[in-house]
Amino acid sequence: MELSTALLLGILLLALLWKKLSRPKDFPPGPLALPVLGNILQLDFSNPLKNLREFSKVYGPVYSIYLGFTPAVVIREFKDLKEVLVNKGIDFADRPKNRTLEAICDNRGLVGAPYGRAWKEHRRFTLSTLRNFGLGKKSMEERIHEESVYLIDEFRKNQDTLVDPHFVIENAVSNIICSTVFGRRYGYDDTTFRDILNVIHEHMKMVTGFWCQLYNAFGFVKHLPLPHQKIFRNFKTVYAFLGKVVEEHRRTRVPGEARDYIDCYLEELDMEHEDGHKSNFDAENLFTCVADLFIAGTETTSTSLEWGLLYMMTYPNIQEKCREEIDKIRGDRDHLDYDDRVKMPYTQAVLQEIHRFASVVSLGIAHAPIKDVQLNGYSIPKGTLIITDLSSTHYDEKYWKYPNEFNPENFLNEDGELVKVEYFLPFSAGPRVCPGENLARMELFLFFTTLMRHFEFHWPDPKSPPDITPVFGITQKPKPFKMRLVPRTSN
Tens of pLDDT along 276-328? 556 789 989 999 999 999 999 999 999 999 999 999 999 999 999 999 999 99
User: What pLDDT, in 10s, does the model give residues 456-472?
Assistant: 999 998 888 999 999 99
b/e sequence 52-74, b meaning 16+ C-beta within 10 Å: beebbeebbbbbbbbbbebbbbb
pLDDT of residue 21: 56
Distance CA 251, CA 246 (A): 9
pLDDT of residue 206: 87
pLDDT of residue 462: 83
Q: Which one, of 56, 64, 51, 86, lies nearest residue 423 by Cα?
A: 86
User: What pLDDT, in 10s, does the model give residues 66-99?
Assistant: 999 999 999 999 999 999 999 999 999 999 998 8
pLDDT of residue 7: 55
Task: Check: CB of residue 308 under 8 Å from CB of residue 176.
Answer: no
Pairing of strands 378-380, 373-375: antiparallel
Structural domains in the chain (count): 1
Distance CA 11, CA 197 (A): 51
- Model-level pTM? 0.92
pLDDT of residue 135: 78
Mean pLDDT, contiguous 10-residue spans, the chain (491 residues): 54 52 85 91 93 96 95 96 97 93 85 93 94 85 96 90 94 96 94 92 86 84 84 89 93 91 92 64 91 92 97 97 96 92 97 97 95 96 96 95 96 95 94 92 97 95 91 93 87 48
b/e sequence 328-339, b meaning 16+ C-beta within 10 Å: ebbeeeebbebe
The helix/strand/coil state of 21 is: coil
Task: Check: CB of residue 150 under 8 Å from CB of residue 453.
Answer: no
In terms of residue numbers, what domain contains 282? 2-487
CATH number, domain of 79, equals: 1.10.630.10
pLDDT of residue 259: 93
pLDDT of residue 403: 96
